[in-house]
Amino acid sequence: MPLIDAPEAAMRLARAICSDVSLYNEEKIVRGIEQDNFFDALREELEEGRELYRSRVAPELYQRTNFYDRAIVDVILKSKGHVKSKIW
Amino acid sequence: MKRLADQTLYEILEVREDAAAAEIQAACERARDIYGPGSLATYTLMTPDEADMLAKRIDEARATLLDPEARARYDEALRRTGEAVAAAGGANAPGAPFGSLPPVIPAAQASPPPVAPPESEEAPAARPAILLAAALESPEDEEDLPEAREEPRLAKPIPLEREVSAPPQDPPAPLPAPAVVPPPLPAVPLVHDGAWTGDALRQAREARGLTIQQIAERTKVTRHHIENIEGERFGALPAPVYLRGILVSLARELRLDGQKVARAYLERSAAALSGKPK
């Protein structure tokens, strides 16, 4: 499979991966936000997602962009803005 | 969940009705950030029309609630609507303002109605809607609904998301038959040292009396993924980030510890794919 070198496509992939992480780990995400340990609680899931993203995107594009990290915030965290937590 | 058009401006902003102006201002900005045009947070969750309507309602909330005079008028209108709800003798009474409401769950079924599971995000909205509907249908039975009195007064009537057909009034509905206690599920075989293999998962599924087709329908995981998991065809399985979610879903359905099952199986999969025996 050819590596993705278009920024838009890479961004879409990052969001799609994060969307699936969010879908499968709803309770864990909410708990992580509530208890302010989101990145620790989701470490394995987020790193597996990052690994998939890295494996599909051209190295140069991966190095100079942070689409996956942005997708974590935009897709996973922003949609949980209603969760009560001291982190907001 | 209430429709956007039916939510009060306070509900749109997720603030209390006595919120201070600064709090409302902050809520407006937050709502704009989260739901504004081009928001990644909602781009797959709302149609463009819904997003437009939400944006208009946020603007309306800002214009109304940050203007003291307009807010006072709006609060007064809300209060009058709330009184009308309380005074209404029935949803279908002549002249009742809620004559167009769909059929509601009758008061005869005043015991806690079936609602979405507690983990569902929609449960908080659905529950008061049904309770309100029951109260409107037969206020004299309110004594049987202690929870209904504890609910905050709702500013506007909430139409049910779907129609619920009312049972015939005459003769009265028979008492519900005692719930049939399902036979206890057979014990899931213990797995030594947490080695959740594909075969162990198959045994756990069979111990629950589930076919692959049944568990596929319950978990929305495709049948061939389940077959590949049970058959330990690691090369044909999706990437770990997806496989973990699938395993957690399967384990949850089998009443197993999803995290332990996923971790053990993923380790096994990684070892197999890297050529190391596990």
Q: What is the pLDDT of residues A23-33, one digit of tens each?
A: 989 999 999 99
Strand partners, A57: A4
Q: Chain B: residue nearest A20 by CA?
A: B242
Instruction: With beta carbons under 8 A apart, name residues in chain B contacting A49.
Output: 241
Minimal C-alpha gap between B53 and chain A (Å): 18
Which residue in the set A15, A49, A71 is minimally distant from B241, CB to CB?
A49
Distances (CA, A) of B74 to B64, B116, B128, B156, B266: 7, 32, 23, 13, 56
Determine the pLDDT at residue B117: 47
Residue for token digits 């864990």?
A28
Minimal C-alpha gap between A27 and chain B (Å): 8
Outline where DSSP puts E strands in chain A. none
- Find residues 21-80 of chain A whose CB sits inside 8 Å of chain B: 21, 23-25, 27, 44-45, 48-49, 51-52, 71, 74-75, 78-79
Residue for token digits 């959740």?
B196
What is the mean pLDDT, run by run of 10 residues, along chain B of 278 residues? 77 87 87 71 68 84 89 89 68 43 46 47 39 39 43 52 56 58 53 76 92 93 94 93 91 90 91 74
User: pTM to 2 decimals?
Assistant: 0.46
Count of CB atoms situated within 10 Å of the CB of B88: 19
Determine the pLDDT at residue B278: 46
Instruction: With beta carbons under 8 A apart, name residues in chain B contacting A14.
Output: none
Determine the pLDDT at residue B274: 86
Is A78 in Cβ contact with B248 (below 8 Å)?
no
Amino acid found at A10? A
Q: What is the pLDDT of residues A32-53, one digit of tens each?
A: 999 999 999 999 999 999 999 9
ipTM of the complex: 0.81
| Pure H helices in B66-192 | 68-87, 123-137, 146-150
- Find residues 204-263 of chain B whose CB sits inside 8 Å of chain A: 239-242, 244-246, 248-249, 263
| Length of chain A (residues) | 88
Q: Choose among B174, B259, B69: nearest CA to A45.
A: B259
* Residue A7 to residue B43: CA distance in whole angstroms: 18
Q: Chain A: residue nearest B238 by CA?
A: A52
How many C-alpha atoms does A10 have within 13 Å on its Cβ side? Answer: 25
- Please tell me if residue B113 touches chain A, with a CB cutoff of 8 Å: no
Determine the pLDDT at residue B134: 37
* Residue B159 to residue B157: CA distance in whole angstroms: 6
Q: What is the CA radius of gyration of chain A?
A: 13
Main-chain dihedrals φ then ψ at residue B4, nearest 5 degrees? -55, -45
* Residue B8 to residue B176: CA distance in whole angstroms: 37
Per DSSP, B43 falls in state: T
- Please tell me if residue B26 touches chain A, with a CB cutoff of 8 Å: no
Is B44 in Cβ contact with A19 (below 8 Å)?
yes
Determine the pLDDT at residue B140: 43
